[in-house]
Structure formats: structure tokens, C-alpha cells
Structure 1
Amino acid sequence: MNEELLTVDEVAQILRTTTNTIYRWLRAGKLPGIKLGKEWRIKKEALELKLNENNQVNQLSRSFLDIINPQHDHVLAITNSKDNLYNLEAEFFKKGLSKGYRLFKGCWWQNPDDVRQELTQRGLPVEDLEAKNSLVIVDLLAQYNRSGKNGPVQIWANEIEKTVGLGYTTMWGSGSPHLLSCGGHFPNLVEFERSLDDVLKKLPVVGICPYIFEDIRSDCFGQLIELMKHHNSVVFYNDESATLLKNYPVK
């Protein structure tokens, strides 16, 4: 039987993800493929089954976006790879866009141009959104290096004020600090998150702070607890599935 075979690039384009994600699925057996020499090929029929599966998975992965307060929330997100982080941010922004909100992306370790490329590959019309000032992408690390923690916090506050001035009711924003973003000292990062949380509590914003924890070691638990103290909830996100936990700090 003559079945149509697709390349990895073609499948990545159809699924609006990266070729690295497709290769990972193939190696893990999540997407059936055929090895022709050194190249992978995917049967069109197998892809259609994957698309049906993704529709079910996406509903699960979006469920935490339906649980958070759509007008005001501050969420800590834990991922284990750059691919997962970008997938999470893309889904978050799409949800905010569907509600008619302005989008804000703060970059720490991420290069703004890389962010534009990654989000575009995942189906977000970045160029059009930036042209309409419906999305703003800011280098927060540069602001921190110039002004300390007050620089990035003020950028968040300024963009929320600008959002309201443009007629939006709410801003949906994502920052993605590294554990050593603030001068290489974790206590500085905690102080930044505390200051940011104090500001966001008073403003019409849904903020999400995705972190990459590639390995959960014993010392990571203390860091997680400190970060959770300054967020309303925490979401664990992996391969497009998610679990949301509400945060009730014990004084």
C-alpha cells in the first residue's frame, strides 16, 4: 500500500512546534516514524492520529489557564526544558489573546529575537501583534543590570499602566528568570520576586514566571518554596500537560 510519508520539517510545521520536539517524540515513541537511512519519515495516517491525541492533551494543558483568575493572578511555572518553556509561553499568550488582552514578554536569559522566532513557530502572530502594540517584548536583564530589581519591576508597572491607557482591561505577561538571573545570587532573585508580587497585587495583570528546573535536586526544594511564597499558585508543565496547585502560604 502506497502511504504518504512526511519529513520532520513538514510535521513540525503542521504541528506548529520545533524539529527538536518532533525528534524527541520519535525517539520516545510518542510519534511513530520510519528510519530511512539517517532520516526520519512519518506516515500521514500516524500524524492524523497524533493530531487527535494532541487535541485531547491540549485541553488538559489549557485547563490550568481556565482555572487561573483571567483578570488578576501571579503564577509560578516549573518546566524542565527550553522547548517546554516556549510551549507554555505560547499557550499562555494565545489564551490571553483570545480574551482580547494586551501581551507582555519580559526576557532574562532569552534573547528577544529568539523569543520572536520561537513564538512565531508556535503559531503566535508576533510581527503583527508588535506592530499593533498588542505585544511588547522587553529585555529585563538589561534593566536589572542598569537599575537593580527596581528596573524590571518598574517596567512591569509601566507596561500595565500603558495597557490600561490603550483601552485594555488587563495585561497578560510572562517573565522567565533564571535561578541566577539577578547578579548570580538566588537571594537577589527572591527579593525581586517579592517586590514584583507586591506591585502586581495592586494592578490588572495576569503574570506568569516560568523557570527551568532540568534536575530536581535536594537544594531545589528550598528554592521552590521561597519562590512559591511570592506567587498565588504554581503550575508544573511537561510535554504539553500541566498540573496547577494553589498556593496557601503558612506563616
Structure 2
Amino acid sequence: MNEKLLTVDEVAQILRTTPNTIYRWLRAGKLPGIKLGKEWRIKKETLELKLHETNQLNQLRRSFLDNIDPHHDHVLAVTNSKDNLYNLEAEFFKKGLAKGYRLFKGCWWQHPDDVRQELTQRGLPIEDLEAKNSLVIVDLIAQYNRSGKNGPIQIWANEIEKTVRLGYPTMWGSGSPHLLSCGGRFSNLVEFERSLEDILKKLPAAVICPYIFEDIRSDCFGQLIELMKHHNSVLFYNDKSATLLKNYPV
């Protein structure tokens, strides 16, 4: 039986990514391949199956991503693990990238290099995107430690304005604070989210703020409600299943 074998360059062209990304997927086992001497080959049937699986997954997730306002939204996302958080960020960025938007990733407890690794493993060509200035990854906790809440707020505003100057219609960004990211006090975090919401009302950006709640205890429940007051929507995301709710504070 003759099975068509594709080169790494051919697969990269089909998937609109880089050969280096394909090599990483092959080495990690994310994309099954065949080693012929020093060269990798991928069966055409294997690639078609992977594309079919990806399309089915995208169909399942499309509803909540399409309900995000692409130009003016601030979404509180509730997850229960680091894996779920990274999965959500990857899907969010892929959607924004497919629409031709510039991407922004603000790091609080996450190290920027860890973010690069995690998102690359989830199929995003991070190296190429950063080289083209289509994606910027910023250490926001360092900015907060230097300048308080005004440091990260100014970074958000500057990057959205830069996005417009570069000719993009909007910026899609994700920041993922910890409940105690802002100087160890939850009240500081609430003040930061309030200030960020004020900025986002005036500028073209869709922003998700994913938080990890491993257990919704009584104290966490109160914190969750307080954070919801300063977001337009609330997204619950768990094990590739999601529900997006519009928020109407009272």
C-alpha cells in the first residue's frame, strides 16, 4: 500500500507554522512521524486525521469564543488547574490570531519563558509571533513591584495603543493574576482590576483574566463575586468544556 509521506517543510506550510515547531511536535509525540535516517516524514493520512480532530475540537469551543466581543470585552475566567489555564490561553490566542489581531500576554505568577514553552507545546508559533511583533509577553509582576498598579495598567494601555498604530483593528490579551499578586492583598487586586476595566472601556481590546480556583470555598466565593463586578463576562472553563455568561452587576 502506497502511503504519501510529507516532509517537515510541507507539513509546516499546510499548518501555517514553522518547521521548528513541527520538529518540536514530533519530538514531543504530539504529531506522529517516521524517522528515515536523519529526516522526519509524516503520513498524509496521519496529518488529515489530526486536522479532523482539531477541527472537531474547534467546533466544540467556538461558541464561547465567538461570544466574546472582539473589540471591547473584559472576561473573568475561572479555571481549576494550570493545565486548564494554559489550554484556555492557547485557544484564546489561536482565535485572535485567526482573526488577524495582535496578541498580548501579561505574566504575574507565570514566568515568561514558561509561558513561551507551554503555548508552543499547544501549537502556537511563539518565536515567530514575537519576532513579527504580533505577540508581546510582559512580566507584569515586575512592573507592579516597581510602580504599583499604575505600572501594569500603563503597560496594557501602551500595548493597545501600539496595536492600533501598527494597523491592527484590536488587541487580544490575557493576564492571569493570582489572588494575592498585588502586594499580597486581595483589595489591591480588586483595585487593579477596576482600573484596568476603566482603561479597556476606552480602547479596542478583548481581554481575558484567567484565575485558578482549585476549590470554591466560602472565602473564595466572596472573592469571586467581588472580581465579577469589574468584568463584562464570566467564563467557567474546565477540561476543554466552557460556559460564558454575560455579567450584569447589581
Normalised to the residue count of structure 1, the TM-score between the two structures is 0.79
User: What residue ranges of structure 2 are gaps of 5+ in the alignment?
Assistant: 1-25, 33-47
Q: Is the 8 A contact 1:62 1:91 kept in 2?
A: no
Instruction: Quote how far apart the aligned CAs of 1:70 are.
Output: 1.3
Task: Give the equivalent residue in structure 1 for 2:170.
Answer: 170
Instruction: Please give the residue correspondences for 1:126-205 in structure 2 after superposition, counting only pairs within 5 Å.
Output: 126-205=126-205
Task: Give the equivalent residue in structure 2 for 1:209.
Answer: 209
**Is 1:233–2:233 an aligned residue pair?**
yes
Instruction: Quote how far apart the aligned CAs of 1:57 are.
Output: 4.4
Residue identity over aligned pairs, in percent, reads 85
Q: Is the 8 A contact 1:157 1:199 kept in 2?
A: yes
- In 2, distance between residues paired with 1:150 and 1:139? 14
Shift >6 Å, 4+ stretches: 48-54
Task: Give the equivalent residue in structure 2 for 1:101.
Answer: 101
Instruction: Quote how far apart the aligned CAs of 1:167 are.
Output: 0.8
Aligned residues: 210
Task: Give the equivalent residue in structure 2 for 1:13.
Answer: 30
Look up the SS of the partner of 2:192 in the other structure.
helix
Look up the SS of the partner of 1:164 in the other structure.
helix
Q: Report Cα offsets for 1:40-72 as digits up to 9, x if no partner.
A: xxxxxxxx9998676544422232110111121
Amino acid in structure 2 at the alignment position of 1:13: K
- Relative to structure 1, the CA distance from residue 11 to residue 136 in structure 2 (aligned partners, 3 Å threshold; closer, same or farther) is closer
- In 1, distance between residues paired with 2:234 and 2:173? 16
Normalised to the residue count of structure 2, the TM-score between the two structures is 0.79
Q: Report Cα offsets for 1:195-221 as digits up to 9, x if no partner.
A: 000001100000110000011111111
Amino acid in structure 2 at the alignment position of 1:138: V
- In 2, distance between residues paired with 1:120 and 1:53? 19
Instruction: Please give the residue correspondences for 1:236-247 in structure 2 after superposition, counting only pairs within 5 Å.
Output: 236-247=236-247
User: What residue ranges of structure 1 are gaps of 5+ in the alignment?
Assistant: 1-8, 16-47
- In 1, distance between residues paired with 2:55 and 2:185? 41
Instruction: Quote how far apart the aligned CAs of 1:11 are.
Output: 8.0
